[in-house]
Amino acid sequence: MTSWRKLGVIAGGGELPVVLAEHLAASGRPYFIARIIPMADPALEKHPGAAHGLGAMGARMDAMRQAGCDAVVLLGEVARPNIAALELDDVARAMLPALLAAMPHGDDALLRAVLSEHERAGFRVIGADEAMAELLAPQGAWGAVTPNPRHLHDIVKAAKVAAASGAFDIGQGVVVCDGLVLAVEAQEGTDAMLRRVAELPAPIRGQSGARRGVLVKRPKPIQERRIDLPTVGVRTIEGAAAAGLAGVAVEAGGALTVRRDAIITAADGAGIFVYGFTPSEVGET
């Protein structure tokens, strides 16, 4: 049994909100999609809901409240806003001091402030995995390709670097090849980071036919796990393959997967692994 009567899905960009909406529709659970325009995928328009700009906090909450939502999940890509350029309603303006105070402290602090404002408004905020447990990354190799000992060594190092950078709220992704750190994700996001890796000199990275290195994504140590968990989709696999990497590894239970069957098909087709590691595998308790 779910612990909510009707779920409000605050939907940013990307495919993940679409996957959740389709799941809720198929399972017959009551839901309402609060689309953030212009970021939300047009495919969400066929689901029950409403659309508002990012700064229409009050209108969005009112719409969810009137629809009978008692819980909300924040899902999808939302670029860090230029608040001076946003059209803010009265509720958003009342939130502004808290949001402005959080912004200099990083994305996680800002998301925590947004979460707190929704809880203050009477909504229970849940994680995407509570609404759809199948989204969480499983442990072990997902497809036909498995990491070898050299890859596992890179996974351990990348996981440790990701934990260290994540403690400063920098990012969730790291690329390591033969023990050498090739890239650390910051504000550019995973896709842009992988494009940077693809442009590095061939001797320090893998290539198609001679793949080396791994992308690791894991939650930050300070992560508010109800929002902004690392996400892996087919686009991640395509980017890793284009960068010559041997595989992608995520923390089992600490990342969301977008259409896992399609991820496995894409990874097997490219000849790369996708692997869910546990903290104990990377030397953590």
Q: Domain ends where: 111, 132, 153?
A: 132
Q: pLDDT-based confidence at 105, cuts 50/70/90?
A: low
Domain assignment present for residue 160? The answer is: yes
Categorize the per-residue pLDDT at 106 as very low, low, confident or very high, splitting at 50, 70 and 90: low
Instruction: Choose the final residue of a domain: 103, 132, 161.
Output: 132
Last residue of one domain, picked from the residues 132, 154, 177: 132
Q: Please report whether residue 180 resides in a domain.
A: yes
Report the number of distinct structural domains present in the chain: 2
Q: What is the CATH number of the domain that holds 275?
A: 3.40.140.80
The better pLDDT of the pair 104, 243 is held by: 243
pLDDT band for 96, please (50, 70, 90 cuts).
Answer: confident
**Whether residues 143 and 246 fall in one domain:** yes
User: Is residue 2 assigned to a domain?
Assistant: no
The amino acid at residue 156 is V
Q: Please state, in angstroms and rounded to a whole number, the distance separating the CA atoms of residues 101 and 89.
A: 19
- Residue 156: which pLDDT band, with cuts at 50, 70 and 90? very high
98 and 155 in a single domain? The answer is no
Tell me which residue range forms the domain holding 105: 7-132
Least confident range from 35-39, 44-48, 166-170: namely: 166-170
Residue 246 pLDDT exceeds 90 = yes
Q: Are residues 232 and 251 in the same domain?
A: yes
Looking at the fold, whether 180 and 119 belong to one and the same domain comes out as: no
* Full 3-state SS string of the chain: CCCCCCEEEEECECCHHHHHHHHHHHHCCCEEEEEEECCCCHHHHHCCEEEEECCCHHHHHHHHHHCCCCEEEEECECCCCCHHHCCCCHHHHHHHHHHHHHHHHCHHHHHHHHHHHHHHCCCEECCHHHHCHHHECCCEECCCCCCCHHHHHHHHHHHHHHHHHHCCCCCCEEEEECCEEEEECCCCCHHHHHHHHHCCCHHHCCECCECCCEEEECCCCCCCCCCCCCEECHHHHHHHHHCCCCEEEEECCCCEECCHHHHHHHHHHHCCEEEEECHHHHCCC
Residue 206 lies in a domain: yes
Distance, in Å, from the CA atom of 60 to the CA atom of 42, rounded to the nearest integer, reads 18
pLDDT the model gives residue 177: 97
Shared-domain flag, residues 101 and 238: no
Q: How confident is the model at residue 1 (pLDDT cuts 50, 70, 90)?
A: very low
Q: Tens of pLDDT along 71-91? A: 999 988 887 767 777 788 888
Question: Does residue 91 lie in a domain region?
Answer: yes
Residues 128, 143 within the same domain: no
CA-based Rg of the chain, rounded to a whole angstrom? Answer: 19
Same-domain status, 167 and 249: yes
Q: Specify the pLDDT at position 29.
A: 92
For residues 104 and 241, membership in a common domain is answered with no
**What is the average pLDDT across 228-244?**
93
Q: For residues 116 and 122, what is the distance between their CA atoms, to the nearest angstrom?
A: 10
Tokens of 108: 């996680």
Distances in whole angstroms, Cα of residue 110 to Cα of each of 117, 204, 250: 11, 36, 24
* Confidence check: pLDDT of 109 > 60: yes
| Percent of the chain whose predicted confidence (pLDDT) is above 90 | 66
Weakest-pLDDT range from 46-60, 103-117, 166-180: 103-117
Cis peptide before 38 (omega within 30 of 0): yes
One domain, residues 25 and 86:
yes
| Distance separating alpha carbons of residues 172 and 251, to the nearest angstrom | 11
